[in-house]
Structure 1
Amino acid sequence: MARKVGIYTRISRDDEGESLGVARQQQDCERLTDLRSWQAVKVYEDNDVSAFKRNVVREDFELMLKDLRAGLIDGIVAYDLDRLARQPRDLERLIEIFDERPRLEFATVTNDINLGTPDGRTMARIMVAFANKSSHDSSRRIRRKHFELAQQGKDSGGPAPYGWRKNDRTKVDPEAAAAIREAQREILAGVRIGTIRTRWQEQGLGNPRAGTKRMAHHHVEHILTNPRLVGYRTYHGEILYGEDGRPIPGNWEPINTVEEWEAVCAAVAERKQKQPGRSLARKYLLSGIARCGLCKSKIRGQTNPRWSPGSKAAKFTYRCSVVNGGCGKVGRVGEPIDRLIAQLVLEEQRERAAVTRVPMEQQWPGEAELADVEHDIAQLVEAERAKEISVATLLQLLPGKERARDELKLKRARFYKEQKQAEAKEDAADLSVEDFFSLPIERQQEIVLHSLSAVIIHPAGRGRRKFDPSLIEPVWH
């Protein structure tokens, strides 16, 4: 009976996302299994995954070890030993399984190593040690090269970040840039990153390898706050500064102005400080805004279990709940209340905009002061380089200037955040009711809270009654 073996394939980088490298490895391994008269029952593939980086989990490698230990497969075929392991600890885990099951098979396309014998294991350990050293040497050279490129403001290559053309990382992709700017406006208007992520996932946006992986929350946040958006060169995630104390500009087209980018970064940071670790998701417009007309407790929306598409039952209700500390005596159908409040709020904001629209100050008033501080820092650094002052004097004067610069930058970010947020929220005056309900729920709530502090829902009495707007009391600011 033919021995059942697993084929393991891996490649560290697959920039095109087409899996051609692992496909070639699989073909060569299948030829080898045919020559050995083995039966390949499963292919374990870790495409675009490093075996050298310690913080990387190779999912199919881990699954292969489990299957091997459980006896589901009788051996492994790989293209080369370094496809399996570049860290000695991974090799030792594999050797431990071969110790437990001496009759396991092992073969590689490029050479013959028998992990079932002491000599084979010794040779494997030597080969992995050399592969590990080679990876260390390559990593060191690559880091040095990337740092040198970063200091020159040059790009480091690799897949183009979202927002720039795939075939030219220096040129902006107009469609992606428009999606980023729209998402940034939503952030300033109160929309959650989670809502943007869900929409991007459905539309196939935001991921340079769309369809291959589920987009993570932090990935979307990074796209919207990336210093690259304003042309700043980064190194290991941090903005790289030149000898003059200014950010090093990159050799690519920016998507944002500094003011736009700082406003978004400040809005994201502020939200994290206000609600650390707490979900801001809402399902119904007036959840947390509506209050019971009898006990004044907050009312939240509840799905009607009897509702289904096409039925006449209400889709959801606003109900005072005893569980949340209320009296439990008030409950109303939700949709007509939402529509009434949307109409009232939009009408109020249109009237207010027509009368009280005041032009906002466009330029932050501290720009000249910040420029002077940055100039002082550059002069101090240049004076030390020219031996006009000592290092000790520089280190005595520099920290105070740097603190002043950072404080001014923080004030600038707050100024533009508030300005951009006000601009984003003023757009509501031009919305129709249908446009209003097409917005994300967080944006709808921001518009309502711009005009109202609460909505009091009064009881309607017993039995089925026609909707009475007079029993819905908006509390205006």
Structure 2
Amino acid sequence: MARKVGIYTRISRDDEGDALGVARQQQDCERLADLRSWQVVKVYEDNDVSAFKRNVVRDEFELMLKDLRAGLIDGVVAYDLDRLARQPRDLERLIEIFDERPRSEFATVTNDVNLGTPDGRTMARIMVAFANKASHDASRRTKRKHLELAQQGKDSGGPAPYGWRKDDRTKVDPEAARAIREAQQEILAGVRIGTIRTRWQEQGLGNPRAGTKRMAHHHVEHILTNPRLVGYRTYHGEILTDSNGEPVKGVWEPLNTVAEWEAVCAAIAERKQERQGKSLARKYLLSGIARCGLCKTKIRGQVNARWKPDSKAAKFTYQCSVVNGGCGKVGRTGEPVDRLIAELVLEEQREKAAARGVPVEQQWPREAELEAIQADIGQLLQAERSKQITVSTLLQLLPAKERERDELKLERARFYKDQKQAAAQEAAGALSLAEFFDLPIERQQEIVLHSLSAVIIHPAGRGRRIFDPSLVDPVWR
């Protein structure tokens, strides 16, 4: 009976995503298996996956080890030993399995290494050690090259970040830029990143390399707060600075102004700090805003038990719940309450907007002060380089200047965040009722909470009754 083997293929980088490299490896491994009369029962493919980086988990490699240990396959065929392992610990895990199952087969296209013999294992260990050193050397050279490119404001290659054109990563992609700006405005208006992520996933935005994969929350957050948006060059996740302490500017077109970018970053950071560990997801407009008219406990929306949730006729109610510490005696059909509150809030905000007139965008008043501090830092660094002051003197003077600079930058970010959030709130006065209910639920709640601190729902008595607006009491700010 032919021995059942698995083929393992891997390539570290596949920028195009076409998997041609692993396909060539598979063809060569299949020919070798045919020559040895082995039956290929499974191909384990790790495309665009490093075997050198310690924090990378190779899913197919782990599955292959598991199948080999369980006896589901009788051996492994790979193009080269370094496709399987570039870290000695990975090789030792494979050797351990061959110790447990000494009749297992092993072959590579480029070498004849037998992991079933002591000499073969020694040779394999030497080969992996050299492959590991080669990876270390390549990594060191690559890091030095990337640092040099970063200091020049150039990209390091790879796929174009979302927001820039694939064929010319220095040019902004108009469609992606529009999606990013709209999402940033939503963030400033109170919309959750999770809501934006869901919409982007449905529309195929934000992740051109993984259209079928579920986007991660942190991936969307990175897109919306990436320093590249304002032209800043980063290195290992930090904004790179030049010899004068100024951010290194990239060679690409910026997508945001510094004020816009800082406002979005500040809004996201503030939300994390204020609502850490709390779910921001809401399904009904007045959940957590409405309160019982009898016991004043917060009321939340829920689907009426008499209706099927998937029915077109399904209704929801705002119900005081004993489970949440309430009296359980007040409940009201939700839709007319939502409509009433939305009409009142929009009308109130239209009146306020008309009284205020067109808002004027102001510049942060301490911009000149920040520029002066940054100039002082640059002069200190230049003085140390020209030997006008010692390193010891520099380190005595520099930290205080840097703290002052960072405090001013934080104040500027908050200023523009508040200004742009106020501008987003001003726009609510121009919404129609239909446009209001088309907004994400978080945005609807932000508009309501800008005008109201609570909505008191009073009991209506027993039996069916016509909706009475007087029993819904908005508490204005």
Secondary structure class of the residue paired with 1:90: helix
Q: Deviations over 1:141-177 (max 9, x none)?
A: 0000001111111111111111111111111111111
Q: Distance in 2 between matches of 1:46 and 1:182?
A: 36
SS at the partner of 1:466? Answer: coil
Q: Residue 313 of structure 1: CA displacement?
A: 4.3
- C-alpha separation between the residues in 1 aligned to 2:70 and 2:44? 16
**Counterpart position of 2:367:** 367
Residues in 2 aligned to 1:312 and 1:141: alpha-carbon distance in whole angstroms: 65
Q: Which amino acid aligns with 1:198?
A: T
1:470 aligns with 2:470: yes
In 2, distance between residues paired with 1:223 and 1:105? 47
Deviation at 1:278, TM superposition (A): 2.1
Q: Percent same amino acid among aligned pairs?
A: 83
Deviations 1:260-290 (A, max 9, x none): 0000111111111111222211111111000
Distance 2:391 2:175 in 1: 49
State whether structure 2 residue 256 is matched by structure 1 residue 256. Answer: yes
Provide the C-alpha distance between the structure 1 equivalents of 2:462 and 2:79, rounded to a whole number of angstroms. Answer: 76
Q: Is 1:59 aligned with 2:54?
A: no
Q: Which residue of 1 aligns with 2:408?
A: 408
Deviation at 1:13, TM superposition (A): 0.9
Q: Note the C-alpha offset of 1:56.
A: 0.5
The residue number in structure 2 matching 1:241 is 241
Deviates more, 1:108-117 or 1:230-239: 108-117
Distance 1:129 1:142 in 2: 20
TM-score, length of structure 2 as denominator length: 0.97
Equivalent residue, structure 2, for 1:78: 78
Look up the match of 1:396.
396
Alpha-carbon distance in structure 2 between the residues aligned to 1:357 and 1:421 = 17
Could you tell me which amino acid in structure 2 is paired with residue 467 of structure 1? F
Which moves more between the two structures, 391-400 or 120-129?
A: 391-400
User: Whole-Å Cα distance in 1 between the matches of residues 311 and 330 of structure 2?
Assistant: 26
**Which residue pairs with 1:346 in the alignment?**
346
> Is contact 1:360–1:419 with CA below 8 Å preserved after alignment?
no
Alpha-carbon distance in 2 for matches of 1:85, 1:27: 20
| Deviation for aligned residue 1:382 | 1.5
Aligned counterpart, 1:439: 439
Contact 2:320 2:328 in 1 (8 A): yes
Q: Structure 2: which amino acid aligns with 1:25?
A: Q
Give 1:210 deviation, angstroms.
3.1
> How has the CA–CA distance of structure 1 residues 399 and 309 changed in structure 2, closer, same or farther, with 3 Å as cutoff?
closer
Q: Give the alignment of 1:174-193 within 5 angstroms.
A: 174-193=174-193
Amino acid at match of 1:440: P
Q: Where do 1:192-207 residues align within 5 Å?
A: 192-207=192-207
SS of residue paired to 1:423: helix
Runs of 5+ consecutive residues of structure 2 not aligned to the other structure: none
Equivalent residue, structure 2, for 1:299: 299
- Residue in 2 that maps onto 1:47: 47
SS at match of 2:170: strand
TM superposition score normalised by structure 1: 0.97
Q: Distance in 2 between matches of 1:17 and 1:285?
A: 43
Work out the CA distance in 2 between the residues paired with 1:283 and 1:260: 29
CA shift digits 1:405-426 (9 cap, x unpaired): 1111111111001011111121
Q: Which moved more, 1:145-154 or 1:458-467?
A: 458-467
Q: Does 1:101 align with 2:101?
A: yes
- The answer to whether structure 1 residue 167 and structure 2 residue 157 are counterparts is no
How far apart are 1:460 and its partner, in Å?
Answer: 1.6
Matched, 1:356 2:356: yes
Q: Report the 3-state secondary structure (helix = DSSP H, G, I; strand = E; otherwise coil) of the residue aligned with 1:160.
A: coil
Secondary structure of the residue that 1:170 maps to in structure 2?
A: coil
Any conservation in 1 of the 2:381–2:394 contact (CA below 8 Å)? yes
The whole-number CA distance in structure 2 between the counterparts of 1:412 and 1:425 is 20
Shift of 1:404: 1.1
* Aligned counterparts of 1:7 and 1:467: Cα–Cα separation in 2: 70
SS in 2 for 1:172: coil
Matched, 1:376 2:376: yes
User: Aligned-pair distance for 1:303?
Assistant: 2.3
Query: Which deviates further from its counterpart, 255-264 or 30-39?
Result: 30-39
Unaligned runs of 5+ in 1: none
CA distance in 2, matches of 1:425, 1:35: 72
Q: Distance in 1 between matches of 2:312 and 2:199?
A: 28
Name the CA distance, whole Å, in 1 between partners of 2:303 and 2:313.
Answer: 14
**AA at the equivalent of 1:69:** R
The list of structure 1 runs, each at least 4 consecutive aligned residues, that deviate by more than 4 angstroms after superposition, is 308-311
Deviation for aligned residue 1:464: 2.2
> What is the RMSD computed on CA atoms of the aligned residues?
1.3
Per the TM alignment, residue 50 of structure 1 is displaced from its structure 2 partner at its CA by: 0.5
Moved more, 289-298 or 355-364: 355-364
Tell me, what secondary structure is at the counterpart of 2:464?
coil
Q: Which amino acid aligns with 1:312?
A: A
Find the counterpart in structure 2 of residue 312 from structure 1.
313
The farther-off stretch of 183-192 and 372-381 is: 372-381
Q: Secondary structure at the match of 2:446?
A: helix
SS in 2 for 1:332: strand
SS at match of 1:171: coil
| Residues 5 and 73 in structure 2, CA contact (< 8 A), matched pair in contact too | yes
How far apart, in 2, do the equivalents of 1:414 and 1:307 lie? 46
